[in-house]
Amino acid sequence: MRIFAPYDGGPSSGTPHGVGREVGSDGSFALAPILADAFTRILLLAAEETARTGESIGRRTGLSGDDLRSIGARLPHGSAVIGDDAATSGDDAATVAEQRGYKAASSHDKGATNDDILSSVAAGDEDEEEAQVRLLLHRHRAADTDDLTRLARVVARRAMEPNHLWQDLGLASRADLKALLEFAFPDLAARNTTAMRWKKFFYRQLCEAEGFVLCSAPSCGVCRDFADCFGPEDGETMLATLRRAAVATA
């Protein structure tokens, strides 16, 4: 039996300030619908990718075995999608190193500094670029929850991929990504007032925080790379692309 336990002053409404959490008999919390949808989509995409790359779902998503077990147990058919990955994540040397990074990430609070990142990177626990994005997101979580910490890791890991961020997260559109970021990282998302592409926006935030100038042009309006930062983000989902490619080569 699950008991509805709202927090932050209201019932579940799909916004960070009115999210409901259900307490299970084991003390776990049910995923908010928007997070359940996002985690389902990224796990399905990661599972499809692992069939082609041989990497683990953990490596593709930035999630540890414990993370995968926790999420999978709360998703319809989640354990079936993850399969043995949750049990084996952390067995290979590369992922063992990542686990140290996950533990370090979990210890970071909103007062964490770049020294925390650099020490983790120096130890080989995290890629510096990914770690910077992850910490940016972590600092702007709507609430101090394990699931939003996990989402920050996923978004940071997938931001290293070459496609539109919404595609590499397995989402259906940029609009879905905007809704997810507004839900999970509302203060950060609210800063993107010009509809800049999200990857570009993250890096601009990082550069501004360090006092760097990201662009050589005096303003976006006269920049020759304007389309790279603000152009349309159309296309099909990555899952559709992968499955269509599989059919074509079958």
Which tens digit of pLDDT belongs to each residue from 38-75? Answer: 999 999 999 999 988 899 999 999 999 999 999 999 99
- 149 — pLDDT class (breaks 50, 70, 90): very high
Cβ neighbors of 233 (< 8 A, separation 6 or more) are 164, 166, 174, 197
Structure tokens at 13: 């409404």
Residue 100 in domain: yes
Measured CA to CA, the distance from residue 95 to residue 60 in angstroms comes to 11
pLDDT, position 53: 87
Q: Closest Cα to residue 120, out of 132, 109, 110, 111?
A: 132
2 lies in some domain: no
In total, how many domains does the chain have? 1
Residue 6: strand, helix, or coil: strand
Range name among 9-23, 36-50, 136-150, 227-241 with the lowest pLDDT average = 9-23
pLDDT in tens, 86-124: 655 544 444 544 544 544 444 444 445 556 556 666 655
Residues in CB range of 248: below 8 A, 6 or more apart: none
**Residue 17 within a domain:** no
b (16+ CB within 10 A) / e for 211-243: eeeeeeeeeeeeeeeeeebeeebeeebbbeeee
118, part of any domain: yes
On average, the pLDDT of the chain sits at 74
Q: What is the Rg, in whole angstroms, of the alpha carbon atoms belonging to the chain?
A: 18
H or E, element range at 246: helix 238-249
Phi, psi for residue 23 in degrees, rounded to 5: -95, 120
Least confidently predicted of 62-71, 201-210, 211-220: 211-220
Look at residue 9 and tell me if it is in a domain.
Answer: no
Please check whether residue 4 lies inside any domain of the structure: no
pLDDT at 218 over 50: no
| 35 confidence band (pLDDT: 50, 70, 90) | very high
Give the separation between CA 130 and CA 157, rounded to whole angstroms.
6
pLDDT of 208 above 60: yes
**19 within some domain:** no
What is the domain range of residue 182? 31-249
Question: Residue 56: CB partners within 8 Å, gap ≥ 6?
Answer: 50, 85, 88, 89, 92, 95
Structure tokens at 181: 């970021």
Is the residue at 240 inside a domain?
Answer: yes
d(CA 102, CA 104): 5
What local confidence, expressed as pLDDT, does residue 179 receive?
97
